[in-house]
Amino acid sequence: MSTLHSGLLCPNFTENGWGLTRAPQGLVDDLRRSLHRGLAGDLPEETLTQCIEGENRPKMIKQYELNARALRELKHIHEAWAGRKLVGNNAYGLRVYRNESGLNMHIDKTETHIISSILHVDHDPMGDPWPIVIEDYQGNLNEVYLEPGDMLLYESSKCFHGRPKPFNGLWYSSLFIHYYPEDWPAGKIKMDAHYRVPPSWHKQMPKEDGLEDFVVIETSVKEPQCEHGWCGMKNTVKWSGPAEGYGKVLSAGGKVSTLLDLATKEPISEKQGFLGVDAKGEMHGPYDG
């Protein structure tokens, strides 16, 4: 149900809904070591989910302590980007995609996955570049090609995202990090969605001519009549890493914003006014006035 209601019931926290930055190098180095140790062993397959397509199921590298560290260390930049104090929910991975993997377009849980990031750890150097695809608040569909150490910040319960193009390579691995605002009204949003379901919800609407099919698969969606299962792939904006650096965020229009003073890891004001810190040290986003 979140696929239908989150766009209306969840507020925006940033101008575009996504941004490209770098993760701290020390953390990236430790994640890469963990990844390559795992690749040398016999990894378990990830629990089956229909959102991920392809005969070769993703593998999982379990690294609980390192994931907890990532959730702590990366909290500053997520807060600076969103303009809100955040609560860490989870860091998931490492997921290791394999050849011909694909991830259907979807949005994440409205209860807990609000301000998120995908930290790309490493990939098969002989594999083809494989974009993460994300729709922004201006309706643009962006293909973002991440390099190891790049981190895609995104509002994951609002912006459709996925990897509809099948991967051509041996392996591709990332860590997924999720936060939610301290005052996040998860229960209210869930009940608002519940009471907005009309009594006629079970009736099948007649199909209109000229419209592509929109198929729900588990918690994801596809447009099977279009190439790669998503019609917007006909017209995308392409971005490539590596990003400029930790604390610097690239987003739509090619604008780069500096969010962190690296000496203190504290948020600093943006000239454009999308984030500021008041005299009491409280952060404010674009809708705080």
Q: For residues 72 and 88, what is the distance between their CA atoms, to the nearest angstrom?
A: 8
- Percent of the chain exceeding pLDDT 70 equals 88
Q: What is the mean pLDDT of the chain?
A: 86
Residues contacting residue 89 through CB under 8 Å, at least 6 positions apart: 112, 113, 178, 179, 180
| Confidence at residue 143, expressed as pLDDT on a 0 to 100 scale | 98
pLDDT digits (tens, 9 = 90+) for 152-204: 999 999 999 999 999 999 999 999 999 999 998 888 877 777 777 788 878 88
DSSP letter (8 states) at residue 232: G
Tell how many helices (H) and how many strands (E) occur in the chain: 5, 20
Q: For residues 32 and 94, what is the distance between their CA atoms, to the nearest angstrom?
A: 10
Task: Indicate whether 279 pLDDT > 50.
Answer: no
Residue 232 backbone zone (phi > 0: left; psi -120 to 50: alpha; other: beta) = alpha
Max Cα–Cα distance, the chain, nearest Å? 60
Q: Parallel, antiparallel, or unpaired: how do β-strands 237-240 and 18-22 relate?
A: unpaired
Window from 72-81, 118-127, 262-271 with minimum mean pLDDT? 262-271
For residue 125, the Cα-to-chain-centroid distance in whole angstroms is 23
Mean pLDDT of 9-28: 94
Which of 148, 116, 86 has its CA nearest to residue 18?
116
| Confidence at residue 281, expressed as pLDDT on a 0 to 100 scale | 33
| Confidence at residue 110, expressed as pLDDT on a 0 to 100 scale | 87
3-state SS assignment for residue 286: coil
pLDDT digits (tens, 9 = 90+) for 93-150: 999 999 999 999 999 988 899 999 999 999 999 999 999 999 999 999 999 999 999 9
Domains observed in the chain: 2-187+233-284 (2.60.120.620)
Which of 159, 156, 162, 128 has its CA nearest to residue 143?
162
Q: For residues 253 and 170, what is the distance between their CA atoms, to the nearest angstrom?
A: 33
| Stated pTM of the model | 0.86
| Confidence at residue 227, expressed as pLDDT on a 0 to 100 scale | 93
pLDDT digits (tens, 9 = 90+) for 203-254: 887 877 877 788 888 888 999 999 999 999 999 999 999 998 888 999 999 9
